[in-house]
Amino acid sequence: MDFAKGHGTGNDFVIVPDLEDALPLKDAQVAALCDRRFGIGGDGLLRVAPSDDPAAEWFMDYRNADGSIAEMCGNGVRVFVRYLLERGLATGPEVAVATRAGVKNVVVEDDGLRVDMGPAVFGPPSQASVEGFTWPGQAVSMGNPHLVCHLGDEAELEALELFHQPRYDEAVFPDGVNVEFSVGAAPHVRMRVHERGVGETASCGTGACAVAAVALRHAGQDTGTCRVDLPGGTLTVTVTDETVYLAGPAVIVAEGTFRF
């Protein structure tokens, strides 16, 4: 099986081209490819398949590292488009990609790619617990579920143990949730994230969008731009009245063949 490997601010993916839509991947195969010791290694997998939507030529079949299906991935869609461009499967400066969260338009910029992520939809207040400590949080949907918890200071953020899924209210998040912990205030925040089906990752694009939207709301702003620092790098999030834009780098680092 041919594959490529790419990342966006350290959020890394195995990319599998399936240009004829003839390669249905089982959960166990996805998990094997994403295994960091016995496979290629990645936070998730991006299968490149033909789109059924007339607005986009290609569909991003995004899977978590455990093989489970996910609706959307902000870093993943930038890496997906970078792969399309380098393989000659798309031309810039704007590329439409079909996802389970709808068609996303990606613009190629000098220093990376910018994605129209759609609006941030606020849900109810909730909470997350880690190692016996509980923090209030805000539910946000970016096409996938997020719970944003704002912490008191940098030391508290650094001390977090995110080896296991934080506890959350399953009545609010019946399909699981990505949990973000943030410090700072708009226009500059810092975050860590535990992604459902994966664990802690170096970066999460949809999570950065959720954190920025919450930070702006806390600052009394409905719109604005935030710099979001993550362990893997920096993303820029712009919230408008209609949508949220996510901008950042995406690179392809390897190509090869995987033998099951």
Active site residue 204: yes
Out of 34, 73, 149, 226, pick the active-site residue: 73
- Answer for the pair 8, 84: CB distance below 8 angstroms, yes or no: no
H-run or E-run covering 78: helix 74-86
Residue 196 marked as a ligand binder: yes
Rounded (5°) CA angle 38-71-147? 95
- Answer for the pair 78, 90: CB distance below 8 angstroms, yes or no: no
**Cα atoms in the 13 Å half-sphere on the side-chain side of 88:** 0
Per-residue tokens: 129: 């617990």
- Answer for the pair 73, 246: CB distance below 8 angstroms, yes or no: no
**Which residues make beta-bridge pairs with 147?**
139, 179
Residue 167 marked as a ligand binder: no
Active site residue 149: no
**Which residues make beta-bridge pairs with 3?**
256
Residue 105 marked as a ligand binder: no
Residue 11 marked as a ligand binder: yes
Residue 180 marked as a ligand binder: no
Residue 74 marked as a ligand binder: yes
Out of 34, 204, 209, 226, pick the active-site residue: 204
**Which residues make beta-bridge pairs with 230?**
233
Binding-site residues sit at 11, 64, 74-75, 144, 178, 195-196, 205-206
Q: Which residues does the annotation mark as catalytic? A: 73, 204
Q: Binding site for substrate: what residues are annotated?
A: 11, 64, 74-75, 144, 178, 195-196, 205-206
